[in-house]
Amino acid sequence: MPIEAGILAPRPAGMHELEQIRRAFTPWLSIGLIMDGACVEATDADGSRVAVLYRPQTVGYGGDVSRCVDEPVAEAEMAAVWTEAVVPFRMSRSGLEWVAAVALATGGQLLVKGAGG
């Protein structure tokens, strides 16, 4: 079963920025657009999916997202973009690390479904 996560951030990451994160993250990771550009897929050296980021969606108020996730949302008032992420369970460590790096680069917060306390 995949791990569902999201990034709540003031801005989305563009493809150039995602490529820079990929290079800094690990040399064996590849990224590319799938589903007619609706998603960014990260794959490992043998082509196995590591993570998928869906097209970012603007949210009017971060508090709207905080009601839908299982953990506290920091700085909810300033967040403006929600990016869904899916990580295959077998790739959970590397996939979540890459998604967390994207969150950090955009000044956002990584939220993992079911990870709250």
Indicate the domain borders of the chain: 3-112
Give the global pTM. Answer: 0.83
Task: Quote the mean pLDDT of the chain.
Answer: 84
Q: What SS3 state is found at 100? A: helix
Chain segment 84-110, per-residue pLDDT in tens = 999 998 888 889 999 999 999 999 889
pLDDT tens, position by position, 3-31: 999 998 889 999 999 999 888 877 788 99
Write down the pLDDT at residue 106: 92
Distance of alpha carbon 20 from alpha carbon 91, whole angstroms? 21
Residue-wise pLDDT tens digits, 36-54: 889 999 999 899 999 999 9
User: Residue 58 contacts by C-beta under 8 Å, 6 or more apart in sequence?
Assistant: 80, 81, 82
